Amino acid sequence: MLAKIVVDFQNCLIFILISLFSLLCLFVFVFKKPKDSRGCDLPPSPPSLPIIGHLHLILSTLPHKSFQNISSKYGPLLLLRFFNVPVVLKSSANVAYEIFKTHDVNISSHGHPPIDECLFFGSSSFVVAPYGYYWRLMKKLMVTKLFGPQALERLRHVREDELERFHTNLLSKEMKGETVQIAKEAIKLTNNSVCKMIMGRSCLEENGDAARVRGLVTETFALVKKIFLTQVLRRLFEILGISLFKKEILGVSRKFDEFLEKILVEHDEKPDFQGGDMMDVLLAAYRDENAEYKITRNHIKSLFAELILGGTDTSAQTIEWTMAEIINKPNILEKLRKELDSVVGKTRLIEEKDLPNLPYLQSVVKEGLRLHPPAPVFGRKVLEGCTIKGYYVPKNTALVVNAYAVMRDPHYWEDPDEFKPERFLTTSSKKEEEREQELKYIPFGSGRRGCPGVNLGYIFVGTAIGMMVHCFDWRVKGDKVNMDETAAALTLNMAVGRRDTC
């Protein structure tokens, strides 16, 4: 019996030693910190925890505010570590200038897709595609068919029809004395506009398409934080054989796939859809056996899924945030309404052609985007080692840009947390010189991989805000709109759905 106990003890001790040795190897070879092959200083790094590094710093609260707090304490350019993954965090305008003006080509990649099979942000994705022929082909197509000046003018009637429908819907609610949830109504406007622009058809309320798409957009944005973590920690998950969040993400992806496949089939079968819209062009390229780059059906569906995600919820959020700021400041609302009355008059709705003549409205929209960027944090990948602000950043390092912090940087913005549209009316030489030296306003990203739909975003928000201020009086329950944010995703959402009465 004693011999058996001794043997069992020895076996247990050997098992413990082997386990400890395995953990040590795992820590040394998998969770090791990045080394600088050039012998230069790496960016400073805050104190971290064993194994997980700095991961705990972004899981408890809003990521953009967590990053902002870290940067305010330790500096505008930091090296963080999430397990074995090095991440460089940038949070100031002067660092943004050097990164996007000097190293733009080197950071023109978003890194590996989080999950290859996923329809959005997967291997067929435009958003995370490498900076190469396919990405340039799709970018050119979007400019010519959707986002360029000629394309925007060609599709202007689509947006005007949807804006008039938006106005009619709000007017009906006013006549009935119903409350209005601005975000809910705004997403109908942007969703129908985007669907009709890219597919030649609205997502109809009658057959449930509109509600289905809005539901998919909501489900996807609820997963954004998980998608971000999956992308950043992809290599670690592969090493450990973990498929964290994969089932959940692919579940939403399959729903998108089913919906878009149905639309593709309808487009093929119904001749009244053949109007030369973007879907027609992509389907023609898909069928072309002699095309220089052979796109697949998944390429088409991935692009459309990302266009719907990028053009609906984000614009609706900006409309909601900006209207909340305006409602909370009656003097701004009154000044904006006077400008609209003088330019648009009182007998018609605002039109897109009015926007260049409404400088205060443009300033209100820009200020709303500055304080409440729809994507407060975005990521890139450093393809080759480079020096930024005197620090060496190794190749293949993830780069996280905190646009939220950049646009609230007190070194470059006076009263950075205050809603002051007038700041964008300033055109002094000093301000122009400052804009040339610094990149401090980046609500749509910057550089080659900046959002291609910038102009469309300004049109959506500008015309919607202009119409709502010009045509309706707004009041809220209580003294002011609650401006708290939610921690549900990396996008900037209101914590409490606002219901304003028109």
Q: Which residues are annotated as a binding site?
A: 451
DSSP helix/strand/coil, 19: helix
Give the closest residue to 169 by CA, choosing from 158, 180, 160, 156. Answer: 180
Could you tell me if 453 and 146 are in contact, meaning their C-beta atoms sit under 8 angstroms apart? yes
φ, ψ (nearest 5 deg) of residue 369: -70, -35
Residue 439 in tokens? 């990149």
Distance of alpha carbon 433 from alpha carbon 82, whole angstroms: 38
DSSP string computed for 403-448: HHHHTT-TTTSSSTTS--GGGGG---HHHHHHHHH-----BTB-ST
DSSP string computed for 220-264: HHHTHHHHHHHHHTHHHHHHHT--TTHHHHHHHHHHHHHHHHHHH
Please count the other Cβ atoms lying within 10 Å of the Cβ belonging to residue 212.
15
Segment holding 402, helix H or strand E: strand 397-402
Segment holding 309, helix H or strand E: helix 297-311
**Strand 500-501, strand 475-476: pairing:** antiparallel
Could you tell me if 424 and 365 are in contact, meaning their C-beta atoms sit under 8 angstroms apart? no
Q: Which residues are annotated as a binding site for heme?
A: 451
Give the closest residue to 419 by CA, choosing from 356, 483, 347, 339. Answer: 483
Distance of alpha carbon 450 from alpha carbon 440, whole angstroms: 14
Please count the other Cβ atoms lying within 10 Å of the Cβ belonging to residue 198.
22
Residue 430 in tokens? 């000093």
